[in-house]
């Protein structure tokens, strides 16, 4: 990002907002003017070369330096202690399996969802409980916002120019939460993904929206799994591999649901298998054109079952994260149908 704008911001807050908006570097909401003093203050605790390249970001394959990350973190309203989380998310976004090029340029509604695990969650005050995906927590809101500003301002996904989303979604402002590890009966996401429990880890998911799953009635694991499975069957999300979505869908499960499964003796792997079993849409329920497209994709090496469409190729492709507060309201987060995989990165323990 260029220097001239930040060094020549008008004196008043209102004039600064107009200048930043006219430059196309906001998300439409007011931002914190990224003066040199504020950017230096963001970087000061970490003893990093501001010009060190952290990652090369699609779609424009632009180098994201610590200074670039700090500028956008300032604009998003981050505190300095959030910067390592934002930096780790940028590293994860740049990995090929995530497919930021596709996610940032699609006409679909895909956007990065940031999930944080480990000791840093408590240290910086992230919210993993009630309203975890909603407003009210500065760390969740500003970390998520900073990531999206970086994709736009550094990666080059300018709205209407490179980011061609037909409708978009509210998650494109900020989509970030922590896992409620303290109330989960199972190993947390980062441990599942082979990181030490004591590590702080960020995972990015190519989210195509979210669907609320409400089931306060089911008292047995098998019945609850049937509700979850049926709630994922969105025919309009038919993905590139002949699956419903991108093939690595996410379920954000509140503690009450997780404890019900656990109380019936279900491990997380067994829950995934049971949900996968029920998450099947008969191909006959698709339109004729969709069935033809599905047959072509399968002929090219996609899913092989001709009778049904699944949300994922294997049960293990389903991700489960425990988050939220009181209540039996979960969320299904379908992943982008253009193919994406979740990517995790360690959050550095900077001084």
Domain-by-domain residue ranges, the chain? 1-207+341-351, 209-335
Instruction: Share the mean pLDDT of the chain.
Output: 93
Residue 1 has pLDDT above 70, yes or no: no
- Nearest partner of 10 among 76, 149, 158, 23, judged by Cα: 23
**Pairing state of beta strands 201-207 and 211-214?**
unpaired
Q: Whole-angstrom Cα distance, residue 20 to residue 14?
A: 10
pLDDT band at 341 (very low <50, low <70, confident <90, very high): very high
Joined together, the tokens standing for residue 171 give 């998650």
Structure tokens that stand for 210 in this block: 């979210």
Contact 200, 251 (CB under 8 A): no
Structure letter (DSSP) for residue 180: -
Torsion-angle region of 53 (φ positive above 0: left; ψ -120 to 50: alpha; else: beta): beta
Q: Is the pLDDT of residue 131 over 80?
A: yes
Beta strand pairing status for 111-117 and 176-178?
Answer: parallel
Report pLDDT digits (tens) over 238-259: 887 778 888 799 999 999 999 9
The band of 296, judged by pLDDT with boundaries at 50, 70 and 90, is low
Among candidate residues 226, 275, 270, 267, the one with its CA nearest the CA of residue 250: 275
pTM above 0.85, yes or no: yes
Torsions phi, psi for 71 (to 5 deg): -55, -50
pLDDT of residue 9: 74
Strands (E), the chain: 53-57, 62-65, 111-117, 176-178, 201-207, 211-214, 250-253, 280-282, 308-310, 319-322, 329-333, 343-346
Contact 59, 150 (CB under 8 A): no
**Do the Cβ atoms of 198 and 118 come closer than 8 Å?**
yes
Is the pLDDT assigned to residue 201 strictly greater than 90?
Answer: yes
Q: What is the pLDDT of residues 252-291, one digit of tens each?
A: 999 999 999 999 999 999 999 999 999 999 988 989 888 8
Q: Determine contact, residues 80/45, Cβ cutoff 8 Å.
A: yes
Q: Give the mean model confidence (pLDDT) for residues 151-175.
A: 96
Mean pLDDT calculated for residue range 17-28: 95
Task: Using the Cα atoms of residue 150, residue 155, residue 158 and residue 163 in order, give the sign of their dihedral.
Answer: negative
The pLDDT of 191-204, averaged and rounded, is: 98
* Per-residue confidence (pLDDT) for residue 300, from 0 to 100: 58
- What's the average model confidence in pLDDT over 146-154? 98
Q: Is the peptide bond before 59 cis (omega within 30 degrees of 0)?
A: yes
């Amino acid at each position: 990002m260029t220097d001239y704008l930040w060094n020549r911001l008008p004196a008043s807050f209102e004039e600064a907002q107009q200048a930043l908006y006219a430059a196309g570097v906001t998300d439409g909401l007011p931002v914190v003017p990224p003066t040199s003093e504020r950017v230096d203050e963001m970087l000061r605790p970490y003893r990093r070369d501001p010009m060190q390249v952290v990652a090369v970001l699609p779609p424009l394959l632009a180098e994201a330096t610590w200074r670039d990350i700090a500028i956008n973190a300032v604009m998003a309203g981050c505190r300095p202690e959030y910067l390592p989380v934002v930096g780790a998310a940028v590293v994860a976004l740049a990995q090929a399996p995530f497919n930021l090029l596709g996610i940032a340029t699609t006409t679909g509604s895909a956007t990065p969802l940031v999930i944080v695990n480990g000791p840093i969650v408590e240290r910086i005050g992230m919210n993993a409980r009630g309203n975890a995906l909603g407003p009210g927590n500065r760390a969740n809101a500003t970390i998520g916002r900073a990531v999206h500003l970086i994709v736009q301002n550094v990666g080059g996904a300018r709205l209407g120019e490179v980011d061609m989303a037909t409708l978009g979604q509210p998650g494109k402002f900020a989509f970030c939460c922590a896992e409620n590890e303290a109330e989960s009966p199972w190993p947390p996401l980062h441990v599942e993904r082979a990181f030490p429990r004591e590590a702080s880890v960020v995972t990015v998911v190519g989210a195509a929206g979210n669907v609320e799953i409400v089931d306060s009635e089911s008292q047995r694991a098998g019945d609850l799994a049937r509700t979850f499975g049926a709630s994922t069957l969105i025919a309009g999300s038919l993905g590139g591999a002949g699956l419903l979505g991108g093939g690595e869908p996410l379920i954000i499960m509140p503690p009450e649901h997780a404890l019900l499964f656990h109380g019936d003796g279900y491990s997380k792997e067994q829950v995934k298998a049971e949900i996968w079993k029920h998450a099947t849409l008969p191909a006959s329920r698709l339109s004729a054109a969709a069935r033809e497209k599905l047959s072509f994709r399968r002929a090219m090496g996609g899913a092989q079952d001709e009778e049904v469409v699944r949300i994922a190729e294997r049960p293990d492709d389903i991700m489960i994260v425990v988050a939220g507060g009181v209540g039996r309201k979960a969320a299904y987060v379908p992943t982008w149908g253009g193919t994406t995989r979740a990517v995790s990165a360690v959050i550095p323990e900077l001084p």
